[in-house]
């Protein structure tokens, strides 16, 4: 989204902690959209799905791609913010660049790649393969996942960070699990909120330093206390930041609360002193108990400024996701599914479609 409208605005700091498990209350709509359909973006495996999503979202060309490890999540979580200059996220194996990833780079004409994670995560052999394709590389890596997230969060100038309610904002999410950070991907990409990772009961030093160095004034704390404890929230508040916890009873409900926040005009999201409005007519659905498809879908959703919801599993939509789709059926026009039928079954697709049509 940075390539369209981008720049953050500094504002005065405040101290306030808000728990928002029910950010908005919606009535069930009287009129649904009977023609609503989900278009599936899928490849033969996770690497190919990332290629399909990238080529769907970023045609005809991009200069830079972000590459994250496709078989382990910690380093990849913060990469969506790095991609926010208008880049897709592609996936790699630790020691080799998969054929679909090579194809996406070729098809999109990319000449530069940003690797997320150290050589223990993405080996130098991957860099060598990229160089052989005439693609230059840079690497964002720290001593651990929290330090790598710090490098990602500080990749752009702090002055370009997006704002919420006039305050420079960042996402804080668990670094020990992936769903909450992934559901926040559209905000990281579209609204320009860096992602900072924490432990359940501790704010790691790299994360503390990043929040201070970036001059963050408002934190969106994603997930309940089983993900990020109240002690971490208190630490953030004690650092002088507004802390808004966006949480549900599980990962799927948390994703719906994040979607509510994105669509709520009272969130007052802004870039470059201009209001940023998420699109309530489009929605994205990703598997909630595995991460790669949702990771690749983050930039797609950020480009569209549309929310990402999560399924309970590959075969179960989940009651909270179903309820959200039904509640919003009067405004939803279409959506995307990320991943093949082994990630989101045809039964889940049918269930989600029926819900989005008001059923």
Q: Who's near 107: CB < 8 A, 6+ residues apart?
A: 55
The pTM of this model reads 0.91
Query: Measured between alpha carbons, how far is residue 335 from residues 33, 88, 148, 353 in Å?
Result: 12, 19, 32, 9
In the chain, which ranges are continuous DSSP H helix?
46-58, 79-82, 99-108, 124-132, 145-153, 179-183, 185-190, 205-213, 230-238, 251-263, 292-304, 319-327, 346-356
Is the per-residue pLDDT at 219 higher than 60? yes
Confidence class of residue 359 from pLDDT cuts 50, 70 and 90? confident
User: How far is 235 from 30, CA to CA, in rounded Å?
Assistant: 44
Using a pLDDT cut of 90, give the percent of the chain over it.
Answer: 89
Any bridge partners for residue 113, and if so which?
Answer: 65, 137
Lowest mean pLDDT among 265-274, 292-301, 335-344: 265-274
User: How far is 321 from 156, CA to CA, in rounded Å?
Assistant: 34
Q: 72 is written with which tokens?
A: 């382990």
The stretch 297-301 carries a mean pLDDT of: 98
The stretch 298-316 carries a mean pLDDT of: 98
The stretch 88-106 carries a mean pLDDT of: 98
Any bridge partners for residue 308, and if so which?
Answer: 284
Is the per-residue pLDDT at 83 higher than 90? yes
Count of other CB atoms within 10 angstroms of residue 112 = 15
User: How far is 262 from 302, CA to CA, in rounded Å?
Assistant: 11
Report the mean per-residue pLDDT for the chain: 92
Q: Where are the domains of the chain?
A: 16-356
Question: What pLDDT is stored for residue 254 in this prediction?
Answer: 99
Please write the tens of the pLDDT for every residue from 111-142. Answer: 999 999 999 999 999 999 999 999 999 999 99
Is the per-residue pLDDT at 150 higher than 80? yes
Question: What pLDDT is stored for residue 31 in this prediction?
Answer: 66
Question: What pLDDT is stored for residue 13 in this prediction?
Answer: 32
Please write the tens of the pLDDT for every residue from 5-63. Answer: 333 323 333 333 334 444 444 444 446 668 999 999 999 999 999 999 999 999 999 99
Question: What pLDDT is stored for residue 15 in this prediction?
Answer: 32
User: How far is 340 from 358, CA to CA, in rounded Å?
Assistant: 25
Is the per-residue pLDDT at 289 higher than 80? yes
Q: 300 is written with which tokens?
A: 């797609």
Question: What pLDDT is stored for residue 89 in this prediction?
Answer: 98
Question: What pLDDT is stored for residue 2 in this prediction?
Answer: 47
């Amino acid at each position: 989204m940075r390539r369209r409208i981008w720049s953050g605005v500094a504002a005065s700091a405040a101290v306030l902690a808000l728990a928002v498990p029910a950010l908005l209350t919606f009535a069930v709509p009287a009129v649904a959209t009977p023609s609503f359909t989900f278009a599936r973006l899928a490849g033969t495996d996770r690497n190919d799905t990332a290629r399909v999503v990238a080529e769907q979202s970023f045609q005809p060309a991009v200069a830079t791609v972000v590459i994250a490890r496709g078989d382990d999540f910690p380093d990849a979580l913060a990469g969506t913010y790095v991609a926010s200059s208008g880049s897709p996220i592609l996936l790699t194996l630790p020691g080799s660049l998969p054929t679909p990833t090579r194809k996406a780079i070729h098809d999109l004409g990319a000449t530069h790649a940003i690797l997320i994670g150290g050589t223990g995560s993405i080996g130098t052999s991957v860099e060598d393969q990229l160089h052989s394709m005439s693609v230059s590389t840079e690497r964002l890596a720290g001593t651990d996942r929290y330090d790598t997230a710090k490098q990602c969060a500080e990749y752009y100038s702090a002055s370009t960070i997006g704002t919420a309610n006039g305050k420079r904002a960042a996402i804080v999410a668990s670094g020990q699990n992936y769903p909450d950070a992934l559901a926040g991907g559209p905000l990281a990409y579209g609204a320009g909120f860096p992602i900072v990772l924490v432990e359940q009961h501790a704010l790691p030093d790299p994360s503390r330093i990043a929040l201070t160095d970036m001059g963050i004034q408002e934190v969106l704390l994603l997930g309940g206390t089983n993900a990020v404890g109240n002690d971490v929230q208190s630490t953030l508040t004690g650092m002088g930041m507004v802390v808004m916890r966006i949480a549900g009873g599980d990962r799927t409900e948390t994703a719906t609360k994040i979607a509510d926040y994105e669509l709520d005009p009272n969130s007052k999201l802004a870039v470059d002193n201009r209001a940023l409005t998420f699109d309530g007519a489009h929605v994205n659905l990703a598997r909630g108990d595995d991460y790669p498809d949702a990771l690749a879908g983050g930039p797609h959703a950020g480009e569209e400024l549309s929310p990402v919801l999560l399924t309970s599993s590959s075969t179960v939509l989940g009651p909270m996701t179903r309820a959200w789709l039904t509640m919003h059926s009067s405004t939803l026009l279409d959506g995307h599914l990320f991943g093949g039928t082994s990630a989101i079954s045809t039964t889940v697709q049918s269930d989600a479609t029926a819900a989005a049509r008001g059923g």
